[in-house]
Amino acid sequence: MSKELSYLEAIREALAEEMRRDPKVFVLGEDVGPYGGAFGATQGLHEEFGDMRVLDTPISESAIVGISIGAALRGYRPVAEMQFADFISCGFDQIVNQAATLRYRYGGRASVPIVVRAPSGGNVGGGLYHSQNPEAWFIHRPGLKVVAPSTAYDAKGLLKAAIRDDNPVVYFEHKYLYRRAKGPVPAGDEVVPLGVAATRREGDDVTLVTYGAMVTPSLEAADRLSKEGVEVEVIDLRTLLPFDKEAIFRSLEKTSRVLIVHEDVKTLGIGAELSAVIMEERFDRLDAPVMRVTSPDTHPPFSHVLEAFNLPNTDKITDALRRLAAY
């Protein structure tokens, strides 16, 4: 049994269900209490669970993550909201030098089951400080898991999996998808496992690897190519660390061509790592260079026109697929 939910509603439902299931789960962040969060992700939680499990905090990302780490070491499962992913940098030390390393430092005797929710991404006119895609900062760090759902179904299922995981998880939720991505979401306790990609479209000619808000334009571009006789297989990573290498390799065995699409900037984005892994381990299966469609190496502009010019879109992905298929 399922019901139609938006991406944002799915996140809210996952939080509520996990808080009911486990009294050790609590949420904290700026304005997450009676106000219900900057985007409404925590609406209704304060009324149901009260001050002790829905904590409004000062504007200090370092403190929010630091409190979460301390609580996790005492047996709790905090879900910390960064009001915007851009400001996760203020809590960077706590995430990468503390949360990511504690299990290793204690020889496996300690765990840090925290989830850091990070509303990320552009195409919403947010400008310089409210449109970034900082996921590559965290996929570089051992000890973390990094998640980026593209659908309402996955937004709920992956968040539930993240909350139950004994490792720190950085959960990137794309702001553009909050009220635009809608779909059937199971009413029951459906958990989407971390580290497993989803094949959104089958194809034999080109493999397209993407995630988050780029899944929709990638599928649109694949449909255009289909009318030209080129069948594109679209893989949604869902989890960026650890990413599902085997799913990519299985598709590559069929297609021999790979295009990677992400909204983050090109230099040292996850596309660079995926390209390197493919060429190191499956070079003999390639009939063309691995290609990337990304944002340029620049800051998110305030201008809507410039933002649209910078962002990957269906036209840019379609052009890249044509070049790759013809190589």
Q: Where are the domains of the chain?
A: 2-186, 198-326
**DSSP-derived pairing of the beta strands 198-201 and 232-236:** antiparallel
Q: How many Å apart are CA 255 and CA 86, to the nearest integer?
A: 36
Per DSSP, 211 falls in state: -
Choose the catalytic residue: 130, 140, 174, 304.
Answer: 130
Q: Is 305 exposed, middle or buried (0-12, 13-18, 19+ CB in 10 A)?
A: exposed
Look up the CATH number of domain 2-186: 3.40.50.970
Q: Tell if the pTM clears 0.95, that is, is over it.
A: yes
The answer to whether domain 2-186 and domain 198-326 are alike in fold is: yes
**At the topology level of CATH, where does 198-326 sit?**
Rossmann fold (3.40.50)
Query: Is 174 annotated in the active site?
Result: no
**How confident is the prediction along the chain (327 residues), in pLDDT tens digits per residue?**
889 999 999 999 999 999 999 999 999 999 999 999 999 999 999 999 999 999 999 999 999 999 999 999 999 999 999 999 999 999 999 999 999 999 999 999 999 999 999 999 999 999 999 999 999 999 999 999 999 999 999 999 999 999 999 999 999 999 999 999 999 999 888 999 999 999 999 999 999 999 999 999 999 999 999 999 999 999 999 999 999 999 999 999 999 999 999 999 999 999 999 999 999 999 999 999 999 999 999 999 999 999 999 999 999 999 999 999 999
